[in-house]
Structure 1
């Protein structure tokens, strides 16, 4: 029986991939100038980034229960199993809301096999998990096999990312305003990662050249076999920087593939323009 996949907008997957593979899609919400939008549906990331450069502070919120219910009901009515690979529960309430909605739907459709995976990943870290799950679906794996494999995949996902201006993290409450002020004066670039689904700072470096060198060093320290690795790079209105990082990664590690895609509004509203994030599997 066909197993269907569901993803949310915080996976930062290309729209073409979502559409070509008929993946159920759940947009998170972004509020700007008092108006609420659906990430990638009624607002695009470039609009958010320009607003942030103009000093505005967009807010984000989890996907609505109604939207989640509509997507889940579609597969329940088909009578076919589905897996939702959700944005980290440590960064959004979307996962918890999805679990609540799923329990309600199963009262009406008790035979509906719906699995909800807390990826504990963000952006293309979650997106790579969805891509991996899609391969398993095409290969005819059972829903139990897919769920087990995806959970293992997510547990190995490494996030390394940096932001161009720490002030954006301060506005979102991710770091103190004092740290942001000092960091901006000294051209300090933070390196952060995601640990158990939550944002954690690792190091601070001055200047992009040192930053890139250290990111490559960290990748070497954390990685295993690159020959079969797909590396993800997500970026925020800085594609040239992402392309430069891609070239350096390819020269240093020769991975199977490097995928680039823009960060969406839901993630970008917190990290700001100039964000660069790298995703790969730990051994």
Structure 2
């Protein structure tokens, strides 16, 4: 069996500690905050609390994906050391970063013909992307080779369910995803949109729910309805949040009460600065293995 590494991007929204403990490699996106450039390095350069407070205070944010040259510089040391590479990339429904990774793959495989690079479009985001990467590590630790893991991911990644809600529409309005009129009415009526991710890896609004308590109940209901084995679900569950830990904890408590066979406690992570630049504060996302996603 050839030596290989499993790699992802910082948009998997896990902690540096988690990635290191699971022996997972990662490369960072970039963002700007009021014109100052940072690496999206899992909160190392700028704590998430400071980032979201700056957004609430009116700071301008901008994100940029990893380019092909950066991927080449990142991949090449592994190839030089005799490792093949399995890289999982942020959903192509949200970013073109997988194209940069594939350009780097083509260039490097010409230079290192004895090495192999496999690139998977995860069709996932935030800690859902992280849950898929973590599964790849489980499969590696069970003895699978790189090609087997890649095949498993391609066959099963659409069974990774994503559900999101937001209690603050400010940044959805600012980013143009909700009109000013709809957003203003939504804020007045305390509307919390509930979204999921389709099989093209795009976020799709599904429901408009009035009130935080109701949307928390509804997102857990979606897991009860859609998880593998329903209430006997025995997989892992991840949650990510943008500066609203108490809301994430409320969802986690309901999940843990509903699924007694859950694989460990619900793991809660921060929505990182790349995805958080678009959602703003007030977003909670729930991730679990379940029914295959549809195309609508």
Matches for 1:154-173 after TM superposition, within 5 Å: 154-173=157-176
CA shift for structure 1 position 168: 0.8
After superposition, residues 1-283 of structure 1 pair within 5 angstroms as 1-40=2-41, 41-195=44-198, 196-225=200-229, 226-254=232-260, 255-257=262-264, 258-283=266-291
How many residue pairs were aligned?
A: 283
Q: CA deviation at 1:69?
A: 1.5
CA displacement 1:172-202 (0-9 Å, x = unmatched): 2322222211111111000011112111100
Q: Deviations over 1:55-88 (max 9, x none)?
A: 2231111113333212210221122211111110
Residue deviations 1:198-237 (CA, integer Å, cap 9, x gap) = 1110001111111112112221221222442111100111
CA distance in 2: counterparts of 1:59 and 1:99, whole angstroms: 24
How far 1:155 moved relative to its partner? 1.2
Aligned-CA RMSD value: 1.5
- Relative to the length of structure 1, the TM-score reads 0.95
Contact 2:220 2:251 in 1 (8 A): no
Q: Matched residues in 2 for 1:170 and 1:144: separation?
A: 43
Asked if 2 retains the 8 angstrom alpha-carbon contact of 1:159 and 1:194, the reply is: yes
Instruction: Give the Cα–Cα distance (whole angstroms) in 2 for the partners of residues 279 and 21 of structure 1.
Output: 19
Whether the 8 Å CA contact 1:159–1:278 is kept in 2: the answer is yes
Note the alpha carbon deviations across 1:75-126, whole angstroms, 9 max, x for none. 2112221111111011112111111111111111122211000001001111
Contact 1:61 1:92 in 2 (8 A): no
Give the gaps of 5 or more residues in structure 1. none
